[in-house]
């Protein structure tokens, strides 16, 4: 399952250093090496998966469950945490840098400097309906492939 050269697989195998906060049969969580804010965590499946395309849905749900629990823990910790972002970058275009799927848990507070720039403009219903139809087309492709 482990992929050579993958830093997260090395952490899972205990061959690379990490500040771990959670480990179970399928998932490990540790501090991000370059934290956006103190307490920034990564939740990682032990089995190597590049992204959402090759991550079992049940394992994805497990990632979320652990991330949710850690988010709640952050709010009870001595770290500054007035809010939390869960963030997953799937693919280079989405800012993925380590190609072993990971879910960020980022403690947030006003003035922490973290931001995501985008054009948040409200769109016309027709445009939204057209996008919805395209997504339904993708869902249909998934069910016809049984994956």
What is the binding site for Zn ion (CB under 5 A)? 3, 6, 8-9, 48, 100
| Closer residue to Zn ion (CB): 6 or 89 | 6
| Closer residue to Zn ion (CB): 15 or 131 | 15
In whole angstroms, the minimum distance from the beta carbon of 98 to Zn ion comes to: 8
Residue 17 CA to residue 15 CA, distance in Å, equals: 7
In whole angstroms, the minimum distance from the beta carbon of 19 to Zn ion comes to: 18
Residues 84/75, Cβ–Cβ less than 8 Å: yes
In whole angstroms, the minimum distance from the beta carbon of 89 to Zn ion comes to: 15
| Closer residue to Zn ion (CB): 24 or 129 | 24
Q: Which residue in 40, 48, 100, 102 is the catalytic one?
A: 102
Q: Is 102 a catalytic residue?
A: yes
In whole angstroms, the minimum distance from the beta carbon of 9 to Zn ion comes to: 3
Non-local CB neighbours of 86 within 8 Å, separated by 6+ positions: 64, 67, 68, 71, 103, 104, 105, 106
| Closer residue to Zn ion (CB): 102 or 108 | 102
Q: Which two tokens stand for residue 41?
A: 């965590």
Longest Cα–Cα distance of the chain, Å, equals 53
Residue 77 CA to residue 108 CA, distance in Å, equals: 13
Dihedral angle over CA of 91, 95, 99, 105, nearest 10: -110
Enzyme catalytic residues: 102
């Amino acid at each position: 399952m482990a992929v050579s050269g993958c830093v997260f697989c090395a952490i899972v195998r205990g061959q690379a250093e990490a500040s771990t906060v959670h480990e179970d049969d399928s998932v490990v969580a540790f501090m991000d090496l370059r934290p956006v804010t103190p307490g920034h965590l990564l939740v990682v499946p032990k089995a190597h998966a590049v992204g959402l395309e090759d991550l079992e849905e049940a394992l994805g749900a497990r990632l979320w469950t652990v991330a949710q629990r850690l988010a709640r823990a952050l709010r009870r910790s001595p770290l500054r945490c007035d809010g939390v972002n869960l963030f997953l970058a799937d693919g280079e275009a989405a800012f993925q840098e380590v190609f072993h799927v990971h879910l960020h848990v980022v403690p947030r507070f006003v003035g922490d400097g973290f931001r995501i720039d985008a054009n948040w403009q409200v769109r016309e219903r027709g445009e939204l309906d057209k996008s919805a139809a395209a997504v339904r087309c993708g869902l249909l492709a998934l069910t016809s492939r049984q994956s």
